[in-house]
Amino acid sequence: MIPVGVVLGEDACWQAIDRERIGLADLLEGLTDAEWQTPTQCGDWVVRDVAAHLTVAARYGRGDVLREMVRARGRWNRMIHDSAVREGARSPEEIVALLRSIVGSRRLAPLTTRREPLLDLLVHGQDIALALGRDRPMPPEAARDAADRVWTMRLPPRPWPLPRARLVATDVEWTRGSGEEIRGPVSALLLLLTGREEAARARLVYGGSSGAGG
């Protein structure tokens, strides 16, 4: 049974998205040129590519997406990668300005809901912060919404396999799965769910078993 409040309401979700956009823009604005070029755990993306990626969904219309898909020969993941690298070629000032320009925007990429931009911002915000050695706390309620979205994701397809475990958040009410128990802050569980186990492991406790949790 899903606890009440797992899914943020429409306005609350968009407010969380805007706070993440503003906070990330503030972080990026103070980076050095070398920091913008710092490698991240997102394949060959450096910080500027990840940051640029976070501006795309709210700016690209259907025609832009179609053009990018043609360039990528119909490969969705290739389209996401290549569009980020092209946008990442902009100056740092342009990328920050674009991120600030979409504050208040509710435009969505095709096949997505309002939960995807929040998920993207929270997880990629951590990718940037971890690469730079910065602390960037996640709001627990927003992280819970994102974690639940990953767990229930069907379309677009979930790019990460679900852990065969019972996940238990220790800072908000949220439990999913069955098997060996993994406990920790919901922000760490979100990183685990999105394939960032190394970054999450230090804040998680592994052990024990229990029944299904959703």
Span 61-77, pLDDT tens digits:
677 667 766 776 767 77
- pTM reported for the whole predicted model: 0.90
Q: pLDDT band at residue 53, thresholds of 50, 70 and 90?
A: very high
The more confidently predicted of residues 71 and 106 is: 106
How confident is the model at residue 1, as a pLDDT?
39
CB atoms closer than 10 angstroms to residue 112: 14
pLDDT per position as a tens digit, 110-160: 778 999 999 999 999 999 999 999 999 999 999 999 999 999 988 777 888
Q: At what angle do helices 186-193 and 140-152 cross, to 10 degrees?
A: 30
**What's the half-sphere exposure (Cβ side, CA atoms, 13 Å) at 68?**
22
How confident is the model at residue 4, as a pLDDT?
47
Largest CA distance in the chain: 51
CB atoms closer than 10 angstroms to residue 171: 15
Task: State what percent of residues in the chain have pLDDT above 70.
Answer: 88
Q: pLDDT band at residue 83, thresholds of 50, 70 and 90?
A: confident
Q: pLDDT band at residue 82, thresholds of 50, 70 and 90?
A: confident
Dist. CA 42–CA 47, nearest whole Å: 9
